[in-house]
Amino acid sequence: MPIVNVEQFPLDTKILIWQVTEEIDFFISKIGHQYPDSPWRHFNPKRQMEYLVSRYLIQLGLPHQHFISELKKDSCGCPHFPTYDIHCGISHSSSYIAAITSSEKVGCDIEIYQPEKILRIAPRIIGKAEESWVRGEDISLKTQLVWGIKESAYKTWGKKNIDWLRDIDIDPILWHPQSGDFTGSIGSLNCDKLYFYGEYTYHKDFLFVWTKERKNIHANSL
C-alpha cells in the first residue's frame, strides 16, 4: 500500500498522501460499491484515477459510518458533505494524490518540483507581502511555497474571483528548508475574509501544504 504519509493533528484533522502505483480496479474494489452508477465511467483514464483515489483517501479520513458517496460539489465547485459537519480538500500532481479532512474549513496542495516553471510564473503569485522573505537563496523552493500556500488557501476559502496578488496575504515566514508553519488571510473588502494557518513539508519529490481556517480572528487583533 503506497501511502507516503498519514498525519492526524489535532484529533479532528487527518491528512493522507498516496503515490499511485496500482491499477484502477484496486480503488474500484474499495469504494465502487458506494457508486452503483459508476460516475467515473465517462471520464478519461487519468481523470478516472484521480476521482477514485482522491475519494478513497477521503474515505480513509472519515469517521466510522461516514461515506464518501455523500460527497458533493457546491456552486463554486468545491467538495463538501451536505449531511456531515466535515470539510475536506484534495490535490494531485503527477502520481501523487493528497487529501485532508477536518471539522473546520481546510485545503491542501501537492506539487512536484518544477523550478523553471515556478520561476516563470513568479510575477503572477509573489505579492508585496511575500517579497521580503522570498529573496535570496532557494528562491525556487520559496516561490513554490508561496504558490502552494495560496492554492491551498484558495481551496480553504471556497469561493471564486480572487486576485492572487492583491487578495491573498501570507504573513512573514521564518522559512526552513524541510518544514514549517505559516499564517495569512484571503479575501477583500468586497467579499468574506478568511484567516488561515497551516504547515508545509518539502518531501523528496514534492512540496505538500495544508491550510485550515483560523476562527475568531479579526484584522484589528493581528
Domains defined along the chain, listed by start: 3-103 (3.90.470.20), 110-221 (no CATH)
- Strand-pairing partners, residue 17, are 5, 98
What confidence score (pLDDT) does residue 213 get? 96
The residue whose grid cell reads 503515490 is 19
* Contact present, 171 and 155 (Cβ < 8 Å): no
DSSP codes joined into one string, 192-222: --EEEEEEEEE-SSEEEEEEEE--S--GGG-
* DSSP three-state, residue 161: coil
> Average of pLDDT values for 60-75?
92
For 126-169, write each residue's pLDDT tens digit. Answer: 988 898 889 888 999 999 999 999 999 999 999 888 899 989 99
Dist CA 64 CA 61 (whole Å): 9
**First vs last C-alpha separation in the chain:** 43
- pTM assigned to the model: 0.92
- Strand-pairing partners, residue 5, are 17
* DSSP three-state, residue 47: helix
What confidence score (pLDDT) does residue 222 get? 43
